[in-house]
Structure 1
Amino acid sequence: MGIALILSTGLHPLWAADTPSSANDSLDAKRAQQLLQRAVLRYQAVQDKALAEFARQGEFTDNELYVYVLDMDGVVLTSGGSSATLVGRNVKTMRDIAGKPFFAEMIHKARQDGHGEVDYRWLNWADNTIQRKRPFFEVSSDRIIAVGYYLTRASQDQARAFLNHAVAAMKTSPSEAIEEFNKLDGRFIQDDLYVYVIDTRTGRFVAHGTMPRLRGTDGNELRDRDGTPIIKNLIAQSLKQQNGQLQYVWKNPVTQRSENKFALFQVVNNYIVAVGYYKP
């Protein structure tokens, strides 16, 4: 979902400071802002009569984007998307799949600042997957009006930061780090970001965050859909430089589609630690 809190003085330019995670996410953010602006103007014009309009497919939906509205106590008043099942319910104590009380955070920011944003994880009904979502919100007449967009792909900077954390863990305790990398619900899996590790002495996977079946297998035999020998190329490149980047085609665990993947890697003793980001 996405939420927008609208003030009677008009929209706040809070979006300008945001840095979306990729070019695609930037376009989606702009779409969300435009839809929110239309919803805000409509609400300011007709007040609660707009709630019925927001609930219908049409002017106030844009593919997977939709408007939803809360009152300041946390009751959902209307929704044009998957949160329509929540209309009439007080959601202040609701948490997302990761346990985050995002509605409470949103309401707090609404009361304190009159506008803001909050990240959480929500069902994208366009492809029926749980994804990160970021709503823009403002307050108008004690109504929280919101539009959010899905962040389906991490950026290169986010992948780099994720790799740095993984490398630090490997340097501290390789065995503990590898165990953590292999946990499907661990801290080293975040949407489309995960870690995999290759033993340079054997070419075998010792860790893979999303595909347990690869652990212990010979990576030299692994090829992408275009026939590129992924691990063979990765090991060859690691012999020339301690860190770098490798491109190949791989399934994005969020979109469930084969996409261009750019694996950032760093050599730590006898291991290659890698984290990748996707581009469609």
Structure 2
Amino acid sequence: MKQVLIRSMACLAFATVNTAAFATAEPTEKDAIAMVERGAAFLKANGKDALAKKLSAKDPEFVQGELYVDIRDINTGIVLAHPINPSIVGKNLTDVPDASGKVYRREIIELAARKGKGWVDYMYKNPVSGKIEPKTTYIMRVGDVVVEAGIYKN
């Protein structure tokens, strides 16, 4: 019985260490693409209002630490949903530059209109570190909505 208890505690300790290591693993470009594709599929199946509701609720399917989906209207540039910074929802920030002066939101809209998907690099506040860091965001156009998810390049 004592050996069973010791083994159980060892397994629990191993699982805890591995879970902690996994939870702190930084997301990759593949993770960002997969999250955008999930968001796009949900949007196609359920509509932008339903996706906006999920994002506002910080649904774990679309919000995982510093990796999250946000959406904007391709025609107006208005942010339709942003789970980390809800104060920008309903605003057109298309021509507001990042910390380095880049008008990246304009680039996102232009890329979505021209190619339908791709990557845009810029500087943005990391919700985990709280610091302005280099970020690359994968975007995909679905009708009149741009679905976005990015990773920080540390």
Q: State the 1:74 CA deviation.
A: 0.6
Q: Give 2:31's aligned residue.
A: 31
d(CA) in 2 for partners of 1:151, 1:126: 13
Query: What are structure 1's unaligned runs of at least 5 residues?
Result: 1-23, 153-280
Letter in 2 for 1:101: V
Q: State the 1:55 CA deviation.
A: 2.0
d(CA) in 1 for partners of 2:31, 2:57: 18
Equivalent residues of 2:66, 2:128 under 8 A apart: yes
Q: Give 1:119's aligned residue.
A: 121
Query: What are structure 2's unaligned runs of at least 5 residues?
Result: 1-24
Alignment of 1:202-241 (within 5 A): none
Letter in 1 for 2:101: G
Deviations 1:235-258 (A, max 9, x none): xxxxxxxxxxxxxxxxxxxxxxxx
d(CA) in 2 for partners of 1:117, 1:68: 15
Q: State the 1:87 CA deviation.
A: 0.5
Q: Give 1:97's aligned residue.
A: 99
Q: Which has more helix, going by share of residues? A: 2
Q: Give 1:140's aligned residue.
A: 142
Letter in 1 for 2:40: V
Q: State the 1:126 CA deviation.
A: 0.4
Q: Find 2:80's aligned residue among 77, 82, 85.
A: 77
Equivalent residues of 2:36, 2:140 under 8 A apart: no
Q: State the 1:63 CA deviation.
A: 1.3
Task: Name the Cα RMSD after superposition.
Answer: 1.5
Higher Cα radius of gyration: 1
* Greater RCO (CA < 8 Å, at least 6 residues apart): 2
Deviations 1:84-103 (A, max 9, x none): 22101001111000000001
d(CA) in 2 for partners of 1:31, 1:116: 14
Letter in 2 for 1:121: M
Deviations 1:56-115 (A, max 9, x none): 22221111111110101210000112x322101001111000000001111111111111
Alignment of 1:144-155 (within 5 A): 144-152=146-154
d(CA) in 1 for partners of 2:127, 2:56: 15
Letter in 2 for 1:33: I
Q: Which has more strand, going by share of residues? A: 1
Tell me if 1:47 matches 2:50: no
d(CA) in 1 for partners of 2:73, 2:124: 20
* Secondary structure of 2:47's aligned partner: helix
* Secondary structure of 1:99's aligned partner: coil
Q: Find 1:59's aligned residue among 53, 58, 61.
A: 61
* Secondary structure of 1:138's aligned partner: strand
d(CA) in 2 for partners of 1:38, 1:31: 10
Q: TM-score, normalised by structure 1?
A: 0.44
The percent of aligned pairs where both chains have the same amino acid is 27
Letter in 2 for 1:47: G
Equivalent residues of 2:98, 2:123 under 8 A apart: yes
Deviations 1:172-213 (A, max 9, x none): xxxxxxxxxxxxxxxxxxxxxxxxxxxxxxxxxxxxxxxxxx
d(CA) in 2 for partners of 1:101, 1:36: 22
Q: State the 1:124 CA deviation.
A: 0.4
Corresponding residue pairs, total: 127
